Amino acid sequence: MSNHTAYAGATATISFGNPAPGAALPRHVPKPLGCWMKAFALHELDPRGSGAHRIAVVVDTPRGSRNKYKYDETLGLFRLSRILPAGMSFPYDFGSVPQTRAADGDALDVLILTEAATFVGCVLMVRLLGVLRATQKEKGRSIRNDRLIAVPETEVNRPRIRDLRELDPDRMHDIEEFFISYNRAQGREFSPRQRLGSNAAYRVLDEAIREFRRTAGN
């Protein structure tokens, strides 16, 4: 007899227990033992579907986690990408904006200044505070690798700050140091170049949306 509980969200339905008789499993996913997951395409979310300032971000790594996860578009699931060195963890929730393409070829990265951790795959509506302009060097090749900085926003939880310039400079310094150390541990050189406010962040976002649509043929 199956003990079956389902959790439904905006992007995925996760069922714990055994699948109903005859139920179809997602393509490419091995038949599980005791856990059945049916996931929808998170990367197909409209990043600007909720108004001019609210942006949809998919969390891949929660605050306080040493495990770095990465979304697999083929499976529609998250994979463990790497484990951070002992003593290092993400200071805030970290994720990406769906349907965007940054200079490194991936979706735009976003650090969300959460007070408490959410979870892998959580969709947050956020307001962009600004952007940390940066370059990343690996194997002699240097590319631009910006980090958007944001705060969560809901109908009842309005952010107290609206721009990166309102953020404590020491807090921003700690964020930069985290990204420098995180990349150094992977053999990369991360160099912060400039801190820019919310207007610049939304311009970076719009540029990445246009690049995604161009390369996707839309």
Do 70 and 118 fall within a single domain? Answer: yes
Query: How many residues are present in the chain?
Result: 218
pLDDT, average across residues 120-128: 95
pLDDT of 157 over the 50 cut: yes
Give the total number of structural domains in the chain.
2
Q: Of 89, 134, 88, 84, which Cα lies nearest the Cα of 109?
A: 134
Q: Residue 166: what pLDDT?
A: 96
Which sign, positive or negative, has the C-alpha torsion 207, 136, 55, 164?
Answer: negative
Contact 58, 123 (CB under 8 A): yes
What percentage of the chain reaches a pLDDT higher than 90?
Answer: 65
Q: What six digits make up the tokens of 120?
A: 């892998």
Burial class (CB in 10 A: 0-12, 13-18, 19+), 103: middle
34 with 96, same domain: the answer is no
Within this chain, do residues 56 and 74 fall inside the same structural domain, yes or no? yes
> 27 and 65: one domain?
no
pLDDT per position as a tens digit, 10-58: 334 333 344 444 444 444 444 433 333 344 577 788 888 666 789 999 9
Q: Are residues 186 and 116 in the same domain?
A: yes
Say if residue 57 is in the same domain as residue 110: yes
Residue 193 predicted with pLDDT over 90? yes
User: Are the CB atoms for 117 and 65 separated by under 8 Å?
Assistant: yes
Claim to verify: residue 28 and residue 73 sit in the same structural domain:
no
Same domain, yes or no: 57 and 25: no
Q: Identify the weakest region by mean pLDDT among 22-31, 136-145, 147-156.
A: 22-31
Lowest-confidence region among 39-43, 72-76, 80-84:
39-43
CA 125 to mean position of chain CA atoms? 12
| CATH code: domain of residue 83 | 3.90.80.10
Residue that is written with structure tokens 């290092």 in the block:
88
Q: How many helices (H) and strands (E) does the chain have?
A: 2, 12
Kindly report the pTM of this predicted structure: 0.80
Are 58 and 15 in a shared domain?
no
The whole domain housing 133 covers 42-216
Residues 85 and 178 in one domain: yes
**Same domain (yes/no): 55, 32:** no
Residues 88 and 160 both lie in one domain:
yes
Q: How far is residue 20 from each of residues 8, 77, 85, 90, 149, measured CA to CA in Å? A: 17, 21, 41, 38, 43
